[in-house]
Structure 1
Amino acid sequence: MRVAIYIRVSTDMQAEEGFSIEGQRSRLISFAESQDWVIHDFYVDDGYSAKDLKRPDMQRMLEDMEKKLFDVVLVYKLDRLTRSVGDLHSLLKTFDLYGVKFKSATEIFETTTAMGRFFITLVGAMAEWERGTISERVRFGVEQMVAEGRRPGGVVPYGYTQDEQLIPEEAALIREVRDLYMSGKGYKSVAMIMNRSGKLRRGREWTDATVAYTLENPYYAGIIRIGSKTPAGTYVNSKRDERVKCVYGKGSHEPIFTQEEYEELKKYMKRKSQGGFSKVGEYWFSGVLRCGRCGAAMFGRLTTKRTTTKGIVRTQYYICSNRHHSKTCDLPIFRQTHIEHLVFQYINQIQEDMEKLNEEAMKIFADEGKKKSAIDSAKRELSKVAERREKWQYMFVEGLIGKQEIRKRMAEEDKREKEIRQRIAQEQKAFSGIPRIEELVGLAEGWAYFDDQEKKEIIHTVFDKIVVNTDLRKIKGVKNKFFDAYIQEISFN
């Protein structure tokens, strides 16, 4: 019987716990020899999480399975294969389809009977539950740290060192940005003035998005915040699309603004965003929005006037140009608020999960034909850094390490991440398809304070193309509600 041996290690810590690549390899070779199996090949994913099947050698193994190059898949433990019940079901169906058996060297599974399938699914569910429990525990611990005024790690905002020490010259630039904005300048004008005077942001130009993010960020007023603010003013955990509490705490770092100055700034931003209305700018996504069915541009229109208790109301919507002009497309009409919802849902996912951002980056590299082996390696290292951060946070929450130790560890991980990202930038000279994370954060945090023209300008600054689609053909009974739809593709400037 021909056997495919699958090996996975996601972190250096697992290597220390006995799950190293060579450790798994030697034990699986011994097991295969004890069964008189012929080893077809080794499929090794080093530095990949089991949260999904997007792993190079996992995909190579599935391709070889379609070619019927082996008869059984052998792993050291089930969680080396996957930690997702959904992916487990999918794999078992695929194994059945090609007549391939599955075997764990350390667990007893029988996949040919209903009871055996139930048992292996139960074990898979336990692995998925374990992963979710750790994430929830870490989230709770991080929220508690913020409520107590302790920063949970990560990249410190511009203006401070990683030890949260104020950098005077950068603080002066931040105050100048505030003064320019309070004098009546818009975000884009502030960015242009700062750039033209050579007052850059650590060597990078200011944008309207980074200006908005800087002005809105409560950290500069001595406040720590965890949570992702949507345009509607609610705070959403995008992984589950549930509303969650946004936690604030008074930080121990030296603020740049007083809380009174910050509140004054927020009121001014809100007042400015509500003043005036430009018909030119009221269609925020015109020029970048595309139909997911035919690829044509979508343009904005207003509904007919209707009288409500608030007066005469007209609603912005977008329609596919092929549907409007030649009736050759049947994509439903999208309200502007629906497009806004879908775009920020996409942005929230990027903000919440940096690993997803890395995967999207690598996907775009592949689409542009610029993917390199060095970038692949760097991406795996970034994944390791993210998982180590989660481990340190978990250990701190559990009281296994102290405050000084976690600060030291998080600083080390931040340094590693910076070095890795610098390597990626050097390898990929044409790195133009991914927005800077500050731009996306600034777009999400400052959106409620933009006026119509600024919203249109910033959409065109950040995005090159936004493709929307839905599986529905006719929309009925969904007045004032969002129907099922999705962002099919986004590309960035």
Structure 2
Amino acid sequence: MRAAAYLRVSTGRQAESDLSIPDQRKQIAAFCAAKGWPLVAEYVEPGASAMDDVRPEFQKMIERASDGDQPIDVIVVHSFSRFFRDGFGLEMYVRKLDKVGVSLVSITQELGTDPGQVMMRQLIGMFDEYQSRENAKHVLRAMKENASQGFYNGATLPLGYGLEEVEKRGNRIKKRLVVDPVEAETVRLIFRLYRSGDGTSGPLGVKATTCWLNGRGYRTRRGARYGVATVHKILTNPVYIGEWVFNRRSAKTQIEKPKAEQIVIAVPAIIERAEFEAVAATLKGNNPRVTPPRVVTGPILLTGLATCATCSGAMTLRTGTSKSGKVHSYYSCSTHSRQGKTGCQGRAIPMNKLDTLVTDHLVTELLQPDRLRATLSALWASRAEKAAEVDGRVGALQAEMTTAEERLKRLYAMVEDGVTDLDDILRDRLAALKLDRDRAKAALDRIRVNERPAAVIAPDLVERFGQLMRENVTAGEIPFRKAWIQSIVDRVEVDDHVIRIIGDKSSLEHAIMVGGST
């Protein structure tokens, strides 16, 4: 009987200790020697789970055992749990091996092939699976507790962070994430390139940012070139605003778990929340499923912004040639171009004329410091009025909650003093009061979650932003100018005798806070 030994441990830590695998090897060798079986092969799997078959050495062994020259007669393991810890997987591979004349033998659980012993093997497989899942449950519970205390659980460190030993509990060293100054600068650079560019061009999209980094010799922690997926992951990772999430996804299926099971670990932030949210909004807007690529990177200044006032269709670029051979470019209603007058009567305007009208009007009517301050003042006044209404609602909810609490206390006191008995009517009253209190408390919690601190924008920041915008919306490359205009303008409506530039004051405020500080 030509034998192959399969040796496995579950974790890298067990493999590093170099105790379990040598012991398995020694016992299997002694067992085979006693049986007179020559050991013709050995397959070692350090740090691999037996809950699935995603194991290179395991697959190599199964493939070799199934070869037509039949080099192996028996696979020997220390216990069935070394081979598989899933009952279904164990039986599937036992039967697969049996079809090619190879048997599986456990030196600590020797079983034959009669029905009773086959059933015993199946029971052992089920018990091993149960034990593995129970162990995994307890390990995850301990890791969640460790994470809730803010400690590192051993995942791959995000770029920009290192580890610091905090304390020692028995043989275990507790660690926390700290900012790596060198890598953190690279992270800030990636956000800056995507958001604002390198100073010589407009914002660089994910692919352009990747090319910029690779072209200037930037490399990942492992020395590899950056990829688009790597840069996108950095731009969307909330760890950079101080929120590292543990237990977010299932390790096997990668399906996101319910929020209640996720643990948010507070870590030092590298990126300001306002900048992270601005990048997230840009990523969402630049998603090809949301916005066509031509709107994001096209060479036309108002593509994606200019719309027809009659049908709300996009105004797209058209060209024509005059009798003199000169080419004229103009914005034209796309609905009219596709459907004719049945869709829209249509309108067109020379490209240079509309571009100049919009940029000149923004410069003279909105981006002057006095006008910016007046616009922001109107926004803050409206916000203050809404805040006063919210304050009134908060006061009413607090009064409701206080009243319910006082009534509950009085009823509890009456029961404790023996003034009344806790009958069904009183129970219903207590339940109703608790419901009123909890409803008021939940409403208060929602208001507090949605509350945002009042924005404070210094006059010099407004001045600097206005100057920056005046310079950038009128000169430079089209993608650069387009990005600045899109940060404050939602759309440009083209009517027969008037052009309407429409935007949101909150977007303007956000652009000043983010753009004015860069």
What's the TM-score once normalised by structure 1's chain length?
0.45
Report which of the two structures shows the higher radius of gyration computed on alpha carbons.
2
